[in-house]
Amino acid sequence: MLAAAAERSQATEFFSPLPTGYRKGRHKYVVVFGTVMSGLGKGIFSSSVAKLLKDKGLVVAPMKLEGYLNIDAGTLNPYRHGEVFVLDDGTECDMDLGTYERLLDQDLSHANFTTSGQIFSSILERERQGEYLGRDVQMIPHVTGEVKRRLRQLALTGDGKSPADVVFVEVGGTVGDYENGFYIEALRELAFEEGPGSTCFVALTYVIKPETLGEQKSKPAQLGIKRLMEAGIQPHIIACRAAEEVSATVREKVAMFSNVPMKRVFSMHDRPSIYTIPDEMREDGLDREILSLLGLHERVDAAHEDRARDRWSSFVRKLTQPKPSGVTVGVTGKYAQLRDAYASIDKAVEHCSAHLECDVHLKWIETTEITDTNVGAKIGELDGVIVPGGFGSRGVEGKISCVRHCREQGLPYLGICLGFQVAVIEYARHVVGLSVANSTEFEQACPESVISELPEQKKIEGLGGSMRLGAQDVVISPSTLASFLYANGGHSISAGAAGIAGHVRERFRHRYEVEPGYVDRLESAGLVFSGRHPSQPIMQVLELPQHPYFIAVQYHPELTSRPLRPQPLFMGLIAAAMRHKVGAGVAGMGPLAKWLRPMSVARSGVVRPQPA
């Protein structure tokens, strides 16, 4: 018995496994916590600071820590959590990772996204395999140890090319939530183990302004930061969210009660666009403060920063300056009441607005209210229409009515995922003559199922198992609108063999496809499938050559749009919407002319790329 007691007494209480090759002190961490309430923009703040450091030549890698027990975001209702963002490797994750990808112009992977469900599943699996050497598995040190292991592993892999100089960690939810308490403890331990100068803690808080008082109040912010300090975290930087710029008096109070110098208390008030925030942070010296806190000044590449700043500032100027023209584009979806459900579409359009110097007003339209009889009144005054993705039958007939109106009236149309499928259904019903055409998603026993699950997908069990997820190659046919858009849009298109314009890589999230048996009938009636799977009879892009602009894709192009590299299909839509508004002429239309002139075709002609 004495021997057993001696063995127990020699066992260390530390459990903090280090990945092979990891060196403490080499990698730094910036951690962003939320206080007062969620949804304030932790991802926007974190990604903006990460961009500033990347501009300086540092390698950055973001990590979103989510408290919910779901393994991923794939089954979450958009009304509860906003859009599901899909990464290149097929990971279904939080929409904040879309913010990171856009601001950093950097593709992320499953390594950048962690949920409590993933953490606990991993630990329980290891426990069953005996990897804890007989220890009783506990929240501390094992759960917190797994969080630290994942963060350090991300530091090693970095951006996929080089190890990270700085890992940006965003903790979901709000300080005080039960579900993220172990994350906060893990990050406290991480800072302790990595040593002084290794970690910068940021508290994002909220400064209220009650209408009855008419002045900003900092007490909720003070109490929220106090909860963080009670958990053992002393913030180094405070970001104050507010509708209006936070006054110096309020920032002084926040600084005094949080032990944070005034120069590190940042007003993160509402802006016309999130893309103005990095430059304003730089003007306030926030990037220099973080470099000083982490001892990173010697790693800065000043020439790289100058080039990156010039490119970004040029984009922001074009985005914020008054535009000589404008259009209204309708987004006809079933979650139109919640813009976060289509956040990536919103941003993709914003990117085009800057590059085409055209104001774009998005009108959100609930398709459950649209019928064949009122569709003209609902969308007839628009300059273009986007039918986005979605699941389930609610609102589908309204979307089909929108497609028919766009096709028959020459209204520019972009269909995405479900927008591709309803375009096929509409064409089959009203042009091919298959009056009861539908999808098996909406009508299981449909006699003319032009959209259905393919046989190889039907064999896969599980709600998310039969989904096509992540980036896949699409073969683009030559002399088509799709080939012109990709060739001229700044996105990579690889060289193709005879009869192939090339391959593009886009991200998918869907389960249903065009039934191969109907492809010939649809094409014989004039529909062109200009994008296909490289080896299977799977249709991925369709267009109508006789239409001013009618294109739909089975994938989600909005996921790959970047501020400095707008997505070509959206660029084409906005250009076509402008032409629809002003007529056929393109003279004097600046950047729009590059897109309008090659797409200018007679109603009876075929769209073919021509020199601008």
**DSSP string of 447-514?**
TTEEEE--HHHHT--STTTT-EEEEEEEEEPSSSHHHHHHHHSSS--EE--TT--EEEEEEEEES-EE
Position 8 pLDDT exceeds 50: no
In this prediction, residues 196-216 reach a mean pLDDT of 94
Neighbouring CB atoms inside 10 A of 462's CB total 7
Q: Across 2-11, 233-242, 389-398, which has the greatest mean pLDDT? A: 233-242
Asked which of 38-42, 359-363, 431-435, 446-450 is least confident by mean pLDDT, the reply is 38-42
pLDDT greater at residue 605 or residue 83 = 83
Position 499 pLDDT exceeds 90: no
Position 586 pLDDT exceeds 90: no
Q: What is the mean pLDDT of the chain?
A: 88
Tokens representing 286 are: 């926030």
In this prediction, residues 438-448 reach a mean pLDDT of 90
Position 65 pLDDT exceeds 90: yes
List, in sequence order, every beta strand (DSSP E) within 105-198: 113-115, 166-171
Give the span between the Cα atoms of 406 and 379, in whole angstroms.
Answer: 9
**DSSP string of 306-368?**
HHHHHHHHHHHHHHHSPPS-EEEEEEEES-TT-GGGGHHHHHHHHHHHHHTT-EEEEEEEEGG
Task: Give the H or E element holding residue 409.
Answer: helix 396-409
Position 592 pLDDT exceeds 70: no
Give the span between the Cα atoms of 561 and 55, in whole angstroms.
Answer: 19
Omega within 30 of 0 (cis) for the link into 388:
no
* pLDDT confidence of residue 467: 76
**In degrees rounded to 5, what are phi and psi of residue 384?**
-170, 160
Position 590 pLDDT exceeds 90: no
**In degrees rounded to 5, what are phi and psi of residue 212?**
-70, -25
* pLDDT confidence of residue 391: 80
Among candidate residues 565, 489, 490, 492, the one with its CA nearest the CA of residue 104: 565
DSSP assignment, residue 135? Answer: P
Task: Give the H or E element holding residue 571.
Answer: helix 568-582
pLDDT confidence bin for 132, thresholds 50/70/90: confident
* pLDDT confidence of residue 295: 97
Q: Do residues 118 and 91 touch, judged by C-beta distance below 8 A?
A: no
CATH topology agreement for domains 28-316 and 324-452+467-599? yes
**In the chain, where are the structural domains located?**
28-316, 324-452+467-599
Q: Rounded to an integer, what is the distance from CA 229 to the centroid of its chain?
A: 32
* pLDDT confidence of residue 602: 29
Position 578 pLDDT exceeds 90: yes
pLDDT confidence bin for 603, thresholds 50/70/90: very low
Position 175 pLDDT exceeds 70: yes
**In degrees rounded to 5, what are phi and psi of residue 361?**
-100, 120
DSSP assignment, residue 162? Answer: S
Looking only at Cα atoms, what is the longest distance across the chain?
Answer: 94
Checking phi first, is residue 218 left (phi over 0); if not, alpha (psi -120 to 50) or beta?
Answer: alpha
Give the span between the Cα atoms of 53 and 290, in whole angstroms.
Answer: 9
Asked which of 211-215, 275-279, 404-408, 570-574 is least confident by mean pLDDT, the reply is 211-215
* pLDDT confidence of residue 1: 42
- Sheet hosting strand 265-269, strand order edge to edge: 113-115, 60-66, 166-171, 28-34, 199-206, 237-242, 265-269
Checking phi first, is residue 536 left (phi over 0); if not, alpha (psi -120 to 50) or beta?
Answer: beta
Residues 366-401: tens digit of each pLDDT: 888 899 999 999 998 999 999 998 887 788 999 999
What's the N-to-C CA distance of the chain in angstroms?
87
User: What residues are labeled active site?
Assistant: 417, 556, 558
CATH number, domain 28-316: 3.40.50.300
In this prediction, residues 585-600 reach a mean pLDDT of 51
* pLDDT confidence of residue 336: 63
**324-452+467-599, superfamily in CATH?**
Class I glutamine amidotransferase (GATase) domain (3.40.50.880)
Asked which of 329-338, 575-584, 595-604 is least confident by mean pLDDT, the reply is 595-604
Among candidate residues 11, 34, 9, 90, the one with its CA nearest the CA of residue 506: 90
Position 249 pLDDT exceeds 90: yes
Give the span between the Cα atoms of 509 and 564, in whole angstroms.
Answer: 25
pLDDT greater at residue 270 or residue 394 = 270
* pLDDT confidence of residue 585: 52
The amino acid at residue 533 is H
Position 206 pLDDT exceeds 90: yes
- Sheet hosting strand 494-495, strand order edge to edge: 359-366, 326-333, 384-387, 413-416, 550-553, 539-543, 528-532, 468-476, 502-510, 494-495
Give the span between the Cα atoms of 104 and 53, in whole angstroms.
Answer: 10
**In degrees rounded to 5, what are phi and psi of residue 127?**
-60, -40
Which residue(s) pair with 328 in the sheet? 361
Position 460 pLDDT exceeds 50: no
pLDDT confidence bin for 11, thresholds 50/70/90: low
Length of the chain counted residue by residue: 612
pLDDT confidence bin for 301, thresholds 50/70/90: very high
In this prediction, residues 234-256 reach a mean pLDDT of 95
